[in-house]
Structure 1
Amino acid sequence: MDIYEIRKQQLVSLIGAQRKGACAERWGMAPAHLSQILSDKTAKNLGDDVARRIEVIEGLPRGWFDSISADEAINLVGGDSDSAGVGDASGQTTADQVRLMLANVKGLSSTARDRIIAAADESSNVVTVDFSRPDPVGDEVWIAHYDVRGAMGAGEVHHGYPEILQGIRVSPKHLREMGIEFKEHFHLKMVTGWGQSMAPTIKNRDPLLVDITIREFTGEGTYVLTWQRHLHIKRLHILDEDHFEMISDNERHGVRKIRRDDTYIQARVLYVWNGQPL
């Protein structure tokens, strides 16, 4: 058993009876990515960055995914002491048994091994292996930046299961002080503007903070929307009962009249990561 198997067991226990899709959304993961990690048929592992991110989002202690009890440490290789080549464990301390067992565990650094052995030697009931970054400051949360390019021009083909490019750490309190309105921080995601049609408000490749729970028109503003099977970032204005006006901020691009029943709102843009609220 290696560190990734330990994390997988912890992940299964954390999900419990929850819907996997809801967990994936809350953790900033594509549902397909989470399914691959949980599947016995794929070799997709729960990496350090994702494990640390989920711990922050769920309010878990650092290294929770890498934590095991002393009894579990003795059985890490998946059997009794004889199967691990220990033989008769009578007369051995817990630390001695754990030391021998860890010789068969892959993926642990020497520092992690020392910590497990030290904790077992102190008769600790829980052993924590810490691979994490420093604690977030204050009320910082992690917001996923997806590999999604919303076109500010001709349109981008939308992918069904976008992967995460990177993430940012922000303070929800600070965002609200800036006038950005949202209900829950885990509804916020980052995407990328692509093209020049929304300049100067949104420039090419500007990161955008969006609320993915807004899936219908909630008033004039800038939206991530699908129209004619392409993904756009545009301002929307109600023209009449059946039509929107799809508006570009760049004067070189005209206003388009589009049918409301052929327009699918994916999110509302709340903030351009160049200091421009929307």
Structure 2
Amino acid sequence: METKDIRRSNLRTLLDEHVAQGLTKADFAEKLGITASQLSQVTSNKHVRNIGDTLARRTEVSFGLPKGWMDTIQAGFVDKPGKTEHANNYSLQNLSRNYTDHTYRIEQLDVELSCGGGRMNSEYPDIIQSIEVDPEYAKRMFGGRPASSLKITTAVGDSMRGSVEPGELVVLDVTVSRFVSDGIYAFSYGDSVHIKRLQKLKDRLVVISDNKTYEKWEISSDEEEQLHIQGFVVGKWEMNYTRLG
């Protein structure tokens, strides 16, 4: 099985398990930070949409599963077209204990599920694909966030100069899929993608570039359906390489 098929199988199993416990599909989708329509697409037998890295890792975080669970064929069930059969004594908790990962690796952002216009770093080369950090240091560095909740992407342009310089690696908490407080977010709006500061003022969001050369603009409550937040910026890495030989 390819990774896309394994992920689809595992997500169906999770969905079936939680529906059997009385959770609705709409509740399940909300817990993942996606719409019910998107859930139908990624679990459909017609393979309407594949499950990208962002949704796979978010699923693991949302349901307390270890990193990589979604990418591994899980013992205890057999996936058939349109049906998931559970083996005797099937338990999500037991499956979770069968998969362990002692590294703290932050992968590159995958925006496959975004509603925007393409990759966030399409105009800048993807030099760094992933970063591994000492787990104990990572706890202090990222406030206890699990690695599966973080992604890296390369900053493009100079609109956030002063906070984020062009070419720096930005670290995102991709479990944040809605506005939670004033801060810097990665988001799509209409057909464009941005890393900008968002500030809530009454019934509207103000989009702020820290580089004062750029004007502020606003997103009204009527326009918020066009806003799709990809993550909350929690930090950055300065990238500066000098060749010496």
Specify the TM-score bucket, using the shorter chain as the normaliser: 0.3 to 0.5
Question: Based on CA coordinates, which of the two structures has the bigger radius of gyration?
Answer: 1
TM (normalized to structure 1)? 0.43
